[in-house]
């Protein structure tokens, strides 16, 4: 039974971390996402690594770390909301690329700026040593998560 107790304890630690992380970064009491964007839309917006570049669907999926069918659905919603548009390649009509519209670029910039200000607020509460420690641990956690 000790093994199960240990797993339960580990699950609590993970849940507490996720809850606290989201409370501090995504669901701050002082504000919200400053838009009606879903987490999926935010993820798809930032799959456009360069806002002025048109991307093949497969590359967007890779950037967002989702399956091709998932990114297709995400792009469908962005397109429906006027945030992105599909383009046919002049050289090869079979190739379809996606780019952000002016509206999409504006939303992406505003969202990024708001998140940046929120992160500045969070990091301003930490000493330089605490910032380094936090970032080192987050990098380590990220590497471990990539293994599983």
| Domain boundaries of the chain, sorted by first residue | 35-147
Mean pLDDT of the region 25-29: 57
Q: What is the arithmetic mean of pLDDT over 36-43?
A: 79
Q: Tell which residue, 71, 40, 77, has the closest CA to residue 58.
A: 71
Range 79-83 contact pairs with CB under 8 angstroms and sequence separation of 24 or more:
81/41, 83/41, 83/45, 83/107
pLDDT tens for 136-148 read: 998 898 888 888 8
Which is higher by pLDDT, 131 or 35? 131
CB-based contact 90:57 (threshold 8 Å): no
- Residue 140: Cβ-neighbour burial (10 angstroms; 0-12, 13-18, 19+): exposed
Residue 36: DSSP 8-state:
S
Q: What is the pLDDT of residue 31?
A: 45
Q: Would you put residue 53 in left (φ > 0), alpha (ψ -120 to 50) or beta?
A: beta
CATH class of 35-147: mainly alpha
Q: pTM, whole model, 2 decimals?
A: 0.72
Average pLDDT over residues 59-79: 92
């Amino acid at each position: 039974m000790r093994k199960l107790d240990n797993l339960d304890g580990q699950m609590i630690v993970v849940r507490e971390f996720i809850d606290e992380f989201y409370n501090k970064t995504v669901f701050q009491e002082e504000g919200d996402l400053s838009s009606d964007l879903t987490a999926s839309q935010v993820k798809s917006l930032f799959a456009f690594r360069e806002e002025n570049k048109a991307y093949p669907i497969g590359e967007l999926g890779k950037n967002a770390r989702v399956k091709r069918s998932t990114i297709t659905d995400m792009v469908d919603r962005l397109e429906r909301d006027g945030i992105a548009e599909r383009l046919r390649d002049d050289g090869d009509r079979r190739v379809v690329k996606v780019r952000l519209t002016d509206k999409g670029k504006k939303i992406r910039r505003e969202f990024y700026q708001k998140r940046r200000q929120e992160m500045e607020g969070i990091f301003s509460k930490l000493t330089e040593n605490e910032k380094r420690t936090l970032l080192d641990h987050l990098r380590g956690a990220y590497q471990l998560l990539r293994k599983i």
